[in-house]
Chains A and B, each alone.
Chain A
């Protein structure tokens, strides 16, 4: 057991090291793309009233006229030092990294619920579909899954909008889920700017409390994990008290640190910093209306995304289950007297999870992409929305920045897939 752990760490380190050349290649490609896109900024600069000499100086400063290798070098240096450029049109004046920092929580909020919900539902559907192969239930499930995969996302979004926006049941109050988001011009509700004061600087007390919180979570995890993982070797006696001590200690620290956090957040006003996630911020600042507003605005986009991501996972689960059900070990399990339900859900499902897990994690990274269309449909200002708007408006720093950002996320996603492989299937080993 212990040997396997260190191999895993070595493998992760090796993969991360391998990611760096990949990252460099990605950067070079984006750089070339951006060179193709880059328009002469003279026009916009002249518009804001620069004269000829200042224009030349500005162009030199921007490095507009340097040869390409110097440009590449400058680009790489800027990238690693955090200067990803300044957005011209999408959020004028903000540096791109800050802009991404403001926007990506919104995309994460949109995307995290489908990532958690969709595999659970889809695996259950896939198992049912494999169990009643070619009977009514199977055909219905496959057809519904294909509906989700076949109709484009924006179509389903439009249909749901139509249903919930326009449908009025006159005997009751209007079931009128509001569509306009708080960034739309016509919206008169709360914005996140109202609840989160601008961040001055980090406060040491906040950091320390955060650290305590993290330590406590780690302790509880250690207690629970050791409860789970510690398979007793032969002859060892189970020592429950030591492990429960971990959990109790961790629990106490967690409770106190979260209470401190709440205390510090609102009452003392020693600092003011939000996480950027609207839901978490609303929870931290006790803004129930904002929380309800965010939640109710997320319902339909989440339903859209879940519906669309159900299809590939259901299909893959069904296919691997059908492969596995005809295998010999399932026959042995039945001959042992295991009932059919357990045979399917335990013996068969564990074996068929391997390709499905690839897909689930691939789904995670593809959720970024799917969220693009949904964000545009619902005017939800996340990464995808700004990406498309920047493409149309020609704001190339933003395009570069978001492209590299999503690429990094995908790289980590593939690493996660490979790590999951070893956990799920004991036969898979990496050198």
Chain B
């Protein structure tokens, strides 16, 4: 065999090993990566051995004729196959199935039979031409064309499958299995034909029934492949796939029952963020975006996160869902959702994202994928997370596929969001819709699976005021209906007052004040909050000048030492520029992070307050 055929045989062995592993029952399977690695290693070892065996054979073949007869391709292939599997991992485990070993033994016996038959030609003195690329002989050529033909057919089937409409498409596993069986059978038929006629009848017995015709090859191989493909798909693999999905539904139903009993009713705190810290490692330096943020969200309440641009609100939200991209990194902290720490289980975050915790973003124009239809994008959420419920529905309506059911559900969802003519909107592209509509679609994507927590990152900033009002009202209604908690991030104090129950004020990565909203607006504690609230002009009250907070937002790479607000604070006193203030509970469930309220510095704080009050009186 020329090198090419050895390599091709090795590839075929790899493929067969992979597929056989897949077809074995569950308990005998070995994991995919281990299978691949051990297959490759054993192939390399075997190639080395077989090529190494050939050397002495070639050398000796110059001296002894008998060796030349033994030096043929089929024998080498048989030796290769015999040596391949023992090196394979599957024989490492003791509990390996007898089924696999039995298959292996059968395969080995077949190959050795073929090898002995082939070798016997030499014993009978038949000249088998060596494979010369210049004048290749019909036997080898026929096999090569058959192999190329089956490969082309496999590729064609894959492409055709991909162009089909998604409801009619075959699942990937079914396709793979049918393709492999179809190609092996088609190739096998032609190979058997060519061995019988070309090798035995024409060369051994001298009978030439007909000439090997490549056109008949194309036709025969295609027809055999297509028939075998369809038969195998219909008879074996599709029913298997259906059974699998039915089993999935069964297990899902059982799991649902058990998990529902686990859910403790009356559990108040849904999300508990403790000391979340996220840094961005940029070329300029380390941007300390979020430092030690802690807050809690209870069931069914709306918590607002207020702050200026660049204070770290969005980064906090992204860190909860682990959507922070490099160069950002979550350094430390705990995010407890229903008791589980999300930051520890980074592989399982996918099961929470989109299902239990969802997020909607600021700019609806850029936040929806412009090349896919809107309905497809909402259905995607259902298909990802609610597969079991979709499958349950198919039990009742067996002629529908899960795709059409998902589409129906997304249409119902749009109807609930008061979007007119939802059946037309589903087939539209995002650029054909208005801003408010797009934001509603984003909300639909967020609320599709009835999440327990919805994080809204400035959802109304990009919209005009009338639409803003509608969206906020919508979110309030949905909150009541689905009992979702919302983490509302914004910089607009008016929206906060309308929507939220509790508010956390962020400044430069820290939460400076956190508590019920009525208290915040009536008696703000932190100087920053005081400045924010007093800077809003009140209708009817005249002032000479508007109140401002002097200074600029600090650079997050070189933040001020101690309390980050201290350069702009009126009340700044001695420990403020050296020590970070701790979060102090001034009233029950109301936290302020300021040295003014720290009992350690009480006397200095009082002096500072008196100073500022005198200063205020002097100005007025």
Q: Do chains A and B touch in the complex (CB under 8 A)?
A: yes
Closest to B213 in A: A286
What is the CB-to-nearest-CB distance from A190 to chain B, in angstroms, rounded to a whole number? Answer: 11
Task: Decide yes or no whether A3 CB sits under 8 A from chain B.
Answer: no
Which residues between 217 and 241 of chain A lie within 8 Å of chain B, taking CB atoms?
224, 227-232, 234, 238, 240
Residues from chain B with Cβ under 8 Å of A335 in the complex? 321, 323, 353-354, 358-359, 361
Task: Decide yes or no whether B168 CB sits under 8 A from chain A.
Answer: yes
What is the CB-to-nearest-CB distance from A166 to chain B, in angstroms, rounded to a whole number? Answer: 16
Q: Is the CB of A338 within 8 A of B213?
A: no
Q: Is the CB of A350 within 8 A of B321?
A: no
What is the CB-to-nearest-CB distance from B51 to chain A, in angstroms, rounded to a whole number? Answer: 8
Residues from chain B with Cβ under 8 Å of A228 in the complex? 163-165
Task: Decide yes or no whether B355 CB sits under 8 A from chain A.
Answer: yes
Residues from chain B with Cβ under 8 Å of A328 in the complex? 361, 363, 366-367
Residues from chain A with Cβ under 8 Å of B131 in the complex? 173
What is the CB-to-nearest-CB distance from A132 to chain B, in angstroms, rounded to a whole number? Answer: 11
Residues from chain B with Cβ under 8 Å of A334 in the complex? 323, 353
Q: Is the CB of A337 within 8 A of B2?
A: no
Residues of A in contact with B (beta carbons under 8 Å apart):
169, 171-173, 175-178, 189, 224, 227-232, 234, 238, 240, 255, 258-259, 262, 282-284, 286, 288-289, 291-292, 296, 327-329, 331-339, 347, 350-351, 424-427
Task: Decide yes or no whether B371 CB sits under 8 A from chain A.
Answer: yes
Which residues between 518 and 542 of chain B lie within 8 Å of chain A, taking CB atoms?
none
Given contacts A230-B165, A289-B136, A296-B133, contact A425 B423 (CB under 8 A): no
Closest to B349 in A: A337
Q: Which 8 A-B pairs have the closest CB atoms?
A: A337-B354, A328-B366, A337-B353, A234-B423, A336-B354, A329-B369, A335-B359, A328-B367
Closest to A266 in B: B215
Q: Is the CB of B163 within 8 A of A329?
A: no
A360 CA / B53 CA spacing, docked (Å): 47
Task: Decide yes or no whether B385 CB sits under 8 A from chain A.
Answer: yes
Residue-wise, chain B 432-474 has the 8 Å CB interface mask toward A (1 for contact) of: 0000000000100100000000000000000000000000000
Q: Is the CB of A258 within 8 A of B219?
A: yes
Which residues between 297 and 340 of chain B lie within 8 Å of chain A, taking CB atoms?
321, 323
Closest to A261 in B: B215
Task: Decide yes or no whether B145 CB sits under 8 A from chain A.
Answer: yes
A231 CA / B321 CA spacing, docked (Å): 35
Q: Is the CB of A329 within 8 A of B215?
A: no
Q: Is the CB of B361 within 8 A of A331?
A: yes
Q: Is the CB of A337 within 8 A of B133?
A: no
Q: Is the CB of A175 within 8 A of B165?
A: no
Residues from chain B with Cβ under 8 Å of A331 in the complex? 323, 361, 367
Residues from chain B with Cβ under 8 Å of A284 in the complex? 215
Q: Is the CB of A332 within 8 A of B164?
A: no
A232 CA / B385 CA spacing, docked (Å): 24
Given contacts A335-B323, A336-B445, A338-B384, contact A286 B211 (CB under 8 A): yes
Q: Is the CB of B384 within 8 A of A227?
A: no
Q: Is the CB of A175 within 8 A of B361?
A: no
Residues of B in contact with A (beta carbons under 8 Å apart):
2-3, 51, 54-55, 58, 130-136, 138, 141-142, 144-145, 160, 163-165, 167-168, 211-215, 218-219, 321, 323, 350-355, 358-359, 361, 363, 366-372, 380-381, 384-385, 404, 411, 423, 427, 429, 431, 442, 445
A36 CA / B144 CA spacing, docked (Å): 53
Residues from chain B with Cβ under 8 Å of A329 in the complex? 366-370
A sample of 29 inter-chain contacts (CB < 8 A) reads: A169-B3, A176-B133, A177-B133, A224-B163, A227-B164, A228-B165, A238-B167, A283-B215, A288-B138, A288-B141, A328-B363, A331-B323, A332-B445, A335-B323, A335-B358, A335-B359, A336-B358, A336-B380, A337-B350, A337-B351, A337-B354, A337-B381, A338-B380, A339-B350, A350-B371, A351-B369, A351-B371, A427-B371, A427-B431
Q: Is the CB of B367 within 8 A of A288?
A: no
Given contacts A175-B2, A296-B133, A350-B372, contact A283 B366 (CB under 8 A): no
Closest to A330 in B: B369
What is the CB-to-nearest-CB distance from B454 to chain A, in angstroms, rounded to a whole number? Answer: 11
What is the CB-to-nearest-CB distance from B409 to chain A, in angstroms, rounded to a whole number? Answer: 13
Q: Is the CB of B2 within 8 A of A172?
A: yes
A238 CA / B55 CA spacing, docked (Å): 64
A339 CA / B380 CA spacing, docked (Å): 12
